[in-house]
Amino acid sequence: MPAPGALAVVHDDADCIVVVKPAGLLSVPGRGEHLQDCVAARVQSLFGDALVVHRLDMATSGLMLFARGAAAQRLLSIAFAAREVHKRYVAVADGLIEPACGDIDLPLMADWPNRPKQKFDREHGKASLTRYRVLARDAAARTTRVELEPVTGRAHQLRVHLLSIGHPILGDALYAPPEMQARADRLLLHASALGFAHPVSGAPMQFESAAPF
Domains of the chain, earliest start first: 8-84 (3.30.2350.10), 88-189 (3.30.2350.10)
Structural contact between residues 32 and 146, judged by C-beta atoms closer than 8 angstroms: no
- If you average pLDDT over every residue of the chain, what do you get? 95
Which H or E run contains 42? helix 39-46
Residue 46 has pLDDT above 50, yes or no: yes
Instruction: Return the closest-CA partner of residue 191 out of 96, 75, 95, 61.
Output: 61
Burial 72-93 (b: 16+ CB within 10 A, else e): bbebbbebeeeeebebbbbbbb
Residue 195 banded pLDDT, cuts 50, 70, 90: very high
- Give the Cα separation of 196 and 189 in Å (integer): 21
Q: What is the pLDDT of residues 89-120, one digit of tens each?
A: 999 999 999 999 999 999 999 999 998 999 99
CA distance 184 to 142: 14
pLDDT 10s digits, 110-165: 999 998 999 999 999 999 999 999 999 999 999 999 999 999 999 999 999 999 99
Mean pLDDT, to the nearest integer, of 56-61? 96
Instruction: Please give the model's pTM, rounded to 2 decimal places.
Output: 0.95
Average pLDDT over residues 81-95: 97
pLDDT at 2: 46
Q: Which pLDDT value is given to residue 1?
A: 43
Percent of the chain with pLDDT over 90: 89
Q: Which residues contact 191 (CB under 8 A, 6 or more apart)?
A: 21, 56, 60, 61, 62, 63, 64, 87, 88, 89, 209
Q: What is the pLDDT of residue 144?
A: 98
Q: Say which residue, 212 or 180, is predicted with more confidence.
A: 212
Per-residue pLDDT of 63-77, as tens digits, reads 999 999 999 999 999
Contact 44, 29 (CB under 8 A): no
| 144 bridge partner residues | 93, 137
- As annotated, the active-site residues are 57
At residue 134, the pLDDT reads: 98
